[in-house]
Amino acid sequence: MTFKGKRVLVTGGAGFVGSNLVDLLVEREASVIVLDDLFTGNLNNIQNYDSVEFVKGSVTDRQLTNKLVKEADYVFHLAVRNIIVSTQQPEMDFEANARGTFNILLAAKEYGIQRVIYTSSASIYGNPRYLPINEDDNISILNPYAASKFTGESYCFAYYEMFDVPISVVRYSNVYGIRQNPGNPYCGVISKFFDSALKGEPILIHGDGEQTRDFTYVGDAVDATMLAALSPKAEGQVFNVGSGKETTINDLAQMINHLCGARSKIIHIDRRDIDNIRRRVMNIEKIRHFLRWVPTINQSEGLQKTYEWLQKDSERRRFVA
């Protein structure tokens, strides 16, 4: 199975992960529709493609969602309000993350989509009892973002069981890489650390820095997502997508300082409300077994690629200015 000649809708396709997915879909000769409200997305991420149709709008608009899903063979549903926005504006979080997913599934049921791929989050596990985290481990909802993402998952499986809507779910863990713009106030910790190191400013760590995360390079996350769309074995399944490696935030800051040749001071500041996960590392055996996927970019390579992109992007923005 391939995407050649297929019509593919990518919600959130102008965003960080979404635009990387669009790159790969274009490479695979798909005809891509991007739906994005540009809350955190950027048109510059997708403007170079003749085969990409951009529609400015939101998955909360049921009429628009119906129209676009009707035209598609596959739907990659990445549109989301991230965890920081979710805590600040829980109602917006619910509308985009939960109701938006519901709208996608309603349309998919109506129009017979070949597959809906829903991108969920490792945040739904909360503080796990055991490491590494398995897909069937306990769910522990600690914030509105996790609640809305798990609501989306639940509706996916309900529509799969009750209405035969073909779905696959991938749970991302701390994705980073090219196009994670540090100028975006909602970007991830890696881009923020790089931005500080490159500017010679202090690297700020919330809490003691001994909390751990499983950082996943965006190219690996996108590859896993594509496999979840095409493989018959992925239908009705949920997969962890991570590196399987545990890294402390203190170690991450040191690595980025070293890579940048910087001497930025590392300062520990107050923990935020969202910093309530102590440890995270994913078991990725299920996706390896079902889809033959394993990450191909190790942390050193991923950080190097991110560093090089940030340097080029900084030069481009200075030239445009």
Q: Could you give the residue numbers annotated as active site?
A: 145
DSSP for 167-199? EEEEEE-SEE-TT--TTSTT--HHHHHHHHHHH
Neighbour-count burial of 288, counting CB atoms closer than 10 A to its CB (0-12 exposed, 13-18 middle, 19+ buried): middle
Kindly state the tokens that stand for 260: 């940048």
12 DSSP 8-state letter: T
Q: How far apart are CA 308 and CA 321, in angstroms?
A: 20
Cα maximum dimension of the chain: 57
Is the Cβ–Cβ distance between 127 and 277 less than 8 Å? yes
Is the Cβ–Cβ distance between 120 and 153 less than 8 Å? yes
Kindly state the tokens that stand for 254: 């040191």
Neighbour-count burial of 312, counting CB atoms closer than 10 A to its CB (0-12 exposed, 13-18 middle, 19+ buried): exposed
118 DSSP 8-state letter: E
Side-chain-facing half-sphere of 104: CA atoms under 13 Å: 35
